[in-house]
Amino acid sequence: MSEDFDAVAAAKELDDILGEAGTDAGYARGLEREVEELTALVAKQAAELRAANQRADAAHAEIEAVGKRLTNAAKKDLEQRTRKFLEGFLPVLDDLDRGVVAARKVAESADVVEGLELVRRSFLSRLGQYGVTHAPALGLPFDPQRHEAIALVPVRSPAQHGRVVDVMREGYLIGDETLRPAGVAVGKSH
């Protein structure tokens, strides 16, 4: 139905035509009422259709939002599980470090030291493929986001105050975030 259609004018025109032909004017008014009722019904149905479309659009938007939330939650869960998994390998790396230190104390174990260092480099390289990197701490200012203070150590130089003076457990990053903080001794001047 065209928006330019005027039901009342059309009914009047019909009434005029029928009046000229000598037909009953009451019949024309009845038709006019029916046209008005039908026009009102069409307008009501159009409004209901617009409301239904708005509800459908809102439901579609909510479905998309839920999908995004679920995707983000799944991604976050996978990242947390991956972090835990990779963090589980760090004690093995600590054991390799202790093995290298112990083997260096024995003069005849140069081949063992070389083999352990090769395994350690390979292990670090493999972890690096997943974004894990060593986070050096020695000599740096203490950072509670990157370091875990295990001990306070008296230092003579005020320049060493608040700095990492010893590393008991190496720290590692995954991307820019701390995977495991370094266990450190922090200098404290008197």
Please write the tens of the pLDDT for every residue from 82-93. 999 999 999 999
pLDDT tens for each residue of 116-160: 999 999 999 999 999 999 999 999 999 999 999 999 999 999 999
Q: Is the full-model pTM beyond 0.75?
A: no
3-state secondary structure of 151: strand
Please determine, for residue 1, whether its predicted confidence score (pLDDT) is greater than 60: no
CATH number (domain holding residue 167): 2.30.22.10
- 54 and 93 in a single domain? The answer is no
Q: Which run of H or of E encompasses 153?
A: strand 147-155
- 167 and 156 in a single domain? The answer is yes
- Give the integer Cα–Cα distance in Å for 168 and 180: 13
- 66 and 100 in a single domain? The answer is no
Beta bridge partners of 154: 188
Is 36 within the bounds of a domain? yes
pLDDT of residue 97: 92
- Give the integer Cα–Cα distance in Å for 31 and 15: 9
pLDDT of residue 23: 53
- 149 and 124 in a single domain? The answer is no
Is 2 within the bounds of a domain? no
Q: What domain range is 108 assigned to? A: 88-130
Looking at residue 163, its amino acid is R
Looking at residue 128, its amino acid is G
The answer to whether 171 and 181 are in contact (CB under 8 A) is yes
For the chain, the straight-line distance linking the first and the last C-alpha, in angstroms and rounded, comes to 92
Domain count, the chain: 3
